[in-house]
Amino acid sequence: NPLSSILLYTDILCQEISTQDTQQYQDLQMIMKEAKRCRIIVNDLLSFSRQNELLAQPTDLNALLEEIVQEIGIQERFQEVRVQMDLDAGLPTIEADPFQLRQVFCNLMNNAADAMPGGGTLTLRTKKGPWPELITAEVQDTGEGISEENMKRLFTPFFTTKPVGKGTGLGLAIIYGIVKMHRGQIGVQSQMGIGTTFTLTLHEELPAQLDRE
Ligand code: ADP
Ligand code: MG
């Protein structure tokens, strides 16, 4: 990755400068910082473009969610977050790409954690419906909520309210692409200061026209 070379050589230049309070050193630090930011954006863009490859297989969504929760349990940003699982034991196996769905739920849970810096409750819910052959999954937080104005821009690539270096604004755009690839739906409900719920609807079996796109 060319960015790695940029970072490496900038680091070498930094070490060659003996005093750190020069303008040159500050400028090099700026190059490093921005190159690191580029690296994050490039990684997100790569997963954004990889969405076209959908490798569907029978997927146990409950098991997938439990797996992800196990993993996030050890992450620092979830330290203050209480996770509540409300999974329908009778949920059928669905035809989906488990790796892409993993990304969907990881992104949603990370956003939920970011929205609850002082702690809160993250609820994961699965259920059958709202129609036959469909299943619903919800990711609910008790975080800061989303303003009406921001609601309209949520899924737009690069839309973020997070400080520089923290958010790329690609998470929800990626999620939207993955859900559409699955012919599913994603909706959001939010109340400022109360919390946010993202609702996903997925098919038990992928509709046939999927192969042609
Ligand atoms: P990023 O997380 O990099 O900012 P996303 O596409 O994941 O990008 O999210 C875009 C924006 O949507 C966030 O910056 C935030 O303002 C808002 N958002 C997403 N999820 C939540 C949530 N659960 N609670 C509050 N705001 C959210
Ligand atoms: Mg995000």
Q: What is the pLDDT of residues 170-188, one digit of tens each?
A: 999 999 999 999 999 999 9
Q: Is 141 in the pocket of ligand 1 (CB under 6 A)?
A: yes
Compute how many other C-beta atoms are within 10 angstroms of the C-beta atom of residue 109: 25
pTM, two decimals, is: 0.83
Model pLDDT, residue 73? 81
Q: Is 177 in the pocket of ligand 1 (CB under 6 A)?
A: no
* CA–CA distance, 157 with 165 (Å, rounded to integer): 16
Q: How far is the CA of 170 from the centre of ligand 1 (A)?
A: 9
* CA–CA distance, 36 with 15 (Å, rounded to integer): 18
Q: How far is the CA of 160 from the centre of ligand 1 (A)?
A: 6
- What residue owns the CA closest to ligand 1's atom 11? 160
| Contact criterion met (CB below 8 Å) for 93 and 133 | no
Q: How far is the CA of 55 from the centre of ligand 2 (A)?
A: 23
Tell which one of 148, 153, 172 to mutate to probe ligand 1, the residue whose CB is within 8 A of the most ligand atoms: 172
- Below-50 pLDDT ranges, the chain: 212-213
Alpha carbon 47 to chain centroid distance? 11
| Contact criterion met (CB below 8 Å) for 68 and 87 | no
Q: Is 28 in the pocket of ligand 1 (CB under 6 A)?
A: no
Q: How far is the CA of 169 from the centre of ligand 2 (A)?
A: 6
Model pLDDT, residue 146? 98
Going by the DSSP 8-state scheme, the letter that residue 91 receives in this structure is P
Whose tokens are 């970072």? That residue is 7
149 Cβ neighbours under 8 A, 6+ residues apart? none
Q: How far is the CA of 175 from the centre of ligand 1 (A)?
A: 12
pLDDT in tens, 100-117: 999 999 999 999 999 999
Residue 122 structure tokens: 């993250």
